[in-house]
Every structure is written in structure tokens, then in C-alpha cells.
Structure 1
Amino acid sequence: MSWILNQNSENIGRWLTGVFGQGNDEQLRFLCCGLWFIWFSRNQLVYEKRQMSGTEIARKIRNYISELEATKRGKLTLHSSESFQQVLKRGRATVHFDAAFDRQTSRSASGLIVWNGEGEILVSQAVHHSNIEDPFTAEAYARLQAIKLGISLGINKIEVMGDSKMVIKKCQSSIIDRSVIGAIIRDIQNRKSSYQEIEFSFIPKARNIYAHTIATEALKRGESFYLEKGVPEMVRHALERLRLNPPD
């Protein structure tokens, strides 16, 4: 990709226009991820006094690209009935989210469960993430997945609930977030306009047990899933071991 460095324009706009005019999809994907992680490393240095090596940045880029490709291959298309979509659009839905984090592998899983106003499950989902720095980042990604899930379902009015007070406060704030998870928070803020109404709320961990169990079991088994109107058997069995009634 040395041709990228041969763009001689000193104007960043013309430089990017030239690069995007010459590159193919794969090259531009690497370029965008590279710029993103370089900016991420800059923020870590400025705000946390942590410096990433070029080798570490390259590894993070490769891991993230691999995750994108895996997501593309395993992506499930939503084929909901018209009546199911009408249920979503009529009233308010609630999404509970939580994250499970493995420090040894730097991987996490987002656990999501969507309820309608009558307390019925609309969707449960588990999403895996790699190259995660800490539990705080894992929670932020889980929040983002909750927002994206609501958009994909066509929900108009949503309440997003989790047990991470710090992440919730950042989502509620209009101040630009300059922490390590600032890019994730901005992504969440940018997607809020997709909803007619959206509310971020805190829920104690004891009342967030379903999303927590989904995330924990998904990370333990290395499995992602998307299921309408219920939860997988592995989650049901885990809840029964905790002597809790699985949700209907």
C-alpha cells in the first residue's frame, strides 16, 4: 500500500479524495481501520499516558478486520413477519444489555434482550468482540450493539437499560467524550436520531440477570446467536441452575 504515501497533496481533503479514487474496497477498509486505530493510540497517549507500538497497532488492525469478515460471513438476515414489525413500531420497547469480558484473551460478548410493553421477549442476541482493552470498553460496545439492534428491528421508541452507571452517564451527556471509549460513545450519540424517542436508564445488576446470563454463556461457549421471541436453551439451563425462571 505504498502508493497511499505517494499522494503528494498537502491538503487533507484532496489527499483522501485521491486515495479513495485509487483504492479498492479491501485497501480502503485497511486504510480506514488504520487511521482509526492510529487516532485511538493518540488518544491513549494524550489522555492516559499509554503508548502503543506500531506492531501493536498493526495487530489490532488485523484483528479488527478479521472480526469484520467473520461478522459478514455469519450475519443473520432478519426475516420478521409484518405483524411482528407492527408490534415493534406500535409501542415502546426495552432493551437490556450487559457485557462479559475475558482479560486473558481480550475478548468480550454483548448480551442483549428486547422486551415489548407487555413483558414479552421480542429478540435475544449475543455478539462477540475481539481486541477489547477492559470491561469498561466491553460495556460501551454492548450499549452500542443495543442501539444498533433496536434500529435493525425498526423500533421507534426505546428504553436502553444496563448496569454500568458510567457508560449510561456518558450516553446521557451532550459533552464531547474524550476518553478511550469516546469514539464508541459518539457512535451511540450519532445513532440516537434514528429513534422517535430514546431513553438511557440504569438497572441494578440483580435485575439485569437475563442480559448478563446471555453475555456470560456466549463468551464461555464462544457462540453468537440471534433468536426471536425467546432465549437459547443454553441460557435457559444457566438460569435454571441459578434457580431463576427462564423468561417466556
Structure 2
Amino acid sequence: MTGIEIARQTRNYMVELDAIEETRFTLQPAENTQQICRRGKITVYFDATFDRLSSRSTTGLLVLNEEGEILESKAVMHSEIVTSFTAESYAGLQAIKLGISMGLNKIEVVGDSKTIIKKCQRSDTDKSVIGAIIRDIQSKKDRFQEIDFHFIPKAENVYAHVIAKEALKRRESFYLMGGIPDSVRQAVESFWPKAPD
């Protein structure tokens, strides 16, 4: 191969890379995402479960629209997790990432870890052990027109908790649009007392 041929191939390759870079910035979100954005604020519930023996945790996420309809549910496995506090902070980060991937404009992030919620609400630099994860969450806030973080008691966060618990038990992640897995539905139903006959 001559120097001229190498230069031509290099130039052609660089033109292709430039075209790919331009295409990345002009992609439009899917139609269903556009519809979700127009409806208003979407709520993402998060929770985490932690297994100290295996140093694993699982994030459970549930996305609801304003009418309370399930838009998506997701479970994410994490390894090399040292504390339950770290597991909860990763769950908060996963909630933000899910909102970004869905292309949401207005989001409410809800969890049962008061400490994580308070740290996410603040804008100053967090110097705790989970500071890097909190800074990552805070750096993603500007991807939304409106973002709020709210604490709820564990009893009101049952679905996200059961999603995380079932995924850790099965040691598998999942992503489901428009519903929750049957195993999660059955586990949640066992929490509620049955009506008398």
C-alpha cells in the first residue's frame, strides 16, 4: 500500500466519523416518549436490597404516570457493594438514568431512604463515602426541566422494594414496559391482607 492510498483511506475514514458524529446529535426520540413528556410529571419510585455476604445489591424501579398507570419497571444488579447505604445511592442514580433514557422532561424521584433523598435535594458538594454517586446524581439534574426528590415511608414503596427483592433472589435484572413481572405482582399481593369472605 502506498502513502497516497493510506492518506486517501484515512481521509475517507475521518469523513465517515464526522458523519456519524453529526447523526448522533440529530436523532429524534421515539413517538411514545414524546407522548409521555407532554402528559406532565412522571414519578420514578426506587429502592434497593443488599446482600452483605455476596456484596451484591439490586435496584428496583417503578415508573408511574400522573394517572397511576405503570409505564415501566426495572431491576438492576450491582456487584462489589459494601454497604446498604451505597446500594440505596446507586438506586437513586439508576432512577435518574432511567428518566433520562425515557426522555422525560419532568420527573419526581421517590424513595424510602431519607438520607439519600436529602442529599439529592441539596446542591452543595457531598463529602461522605457516597459523595461521588451523589455528585453523579446532581450532575444529571440539568437534563430535566423539572426534577423533585421526595421521601416516602417504606410501607408506601412496596412495589419498588419487591422488584429489588425478587431480582436479588433470582439474581437477574429485567426491564419491562407497561407492567411488572408476575412474580413481583404475586409477592406484592401477599403483603395486603385478604378481604373477609
Q: Confirm whether residue 145 of structure 1 aligns to residue 86 of structure 2.
A: no
Q: Confirm whether residue 123 of structure 1 aligns to residue 67 of structure 2.
A: no
Aligned to 1:101: 50
Q: Confirm whether residue 89 of structure 1 aligns to residue 37 of structure 2.
A: yes
1:58-99 deviation line (CA, Å, top 9, x unaligned): xxxxxxxxxxxxxxxxxxxxxx962x2133211110000000
Look up the equivalent residue of 2:57 and give its one-letter code: S
Distance in 2 between residues matched to 1:98 and 1:123, nearest whole Å = 15
Distance in 2 between residues matched to 1:142 and 1:164, nearest whole Å = 10
**Runs of 4+ deviating beyond 3 Å:** none
Structure label with greater radius of gyration: 2
Residues 199, 244 of structure 1: CA spacing in aligned structure 2 closer, same or farther, 3 A cutoff? farther
Question: What is the correspondence of 1:39-118 to structure 2 with a 5 Å cutoff?
Answer: 82=31, 84-90=32-38, 91-118=40-67
Higher RCO, 1 vs 2 (CA within 8 Å, ≥6 residues apart) = 2
Task: Please report how far the alpha carbon of residue 196 of structure 1 lies from its aligned counterpart in structure 2 after TM superposition.
Answer: 0.4
Aligned to 1:230: 179
| TM-score, L = length of structure 1 | 0.64
Identify unmatched segments of 5+ residues in structure 2. 1-28
Aligned to 2:115: 166
Aligned to 2:21: none
- Greater share of helix: 1
Q: How many residues align?
A: 165
- Greater share of strand: 2
Q: 1:156 aligns with which of 99, 102, 105?
A: 105
Distance in 2 between residues matched to 1:224 and 1:128, nearest whole Å = 6
Distance in 2 between residues matched to 1:171 and 1:208, nearest whole Å = 18
Distance in 1 between residues matched to 2:44 and 2:187, nearest whole Å = 20
Aligned to 1:217: 166
Percent of matched pairs sharing the same residue: 64
Task: Please report how far the alpha carbon of residue 234 of structure 1 lies from its aligned counterpart in structure 2 after TM superposition.
Answer: 1.1
Task: Please report how far the alpha carbon of residue 244 of structure 1 lies from its aligned counterpart in structure 2 after TM superposition.
Answer: 6.9
Q: 1:195 aligns with which of 141, 144, 147?
A: 144
| TM-score, L = length of structure 2 | 0.81
Look up the equivalent residue of 1:95 and give its one-letter code: V
Identify unmatched segments of 5+ residues in structure 1. 1-79
Residues 244, 125 of structure 1: CA spacing in aligned structure 2 closer, same or farther, 3 A cutoff? farther
Cα-Cα RMSD: 1.5
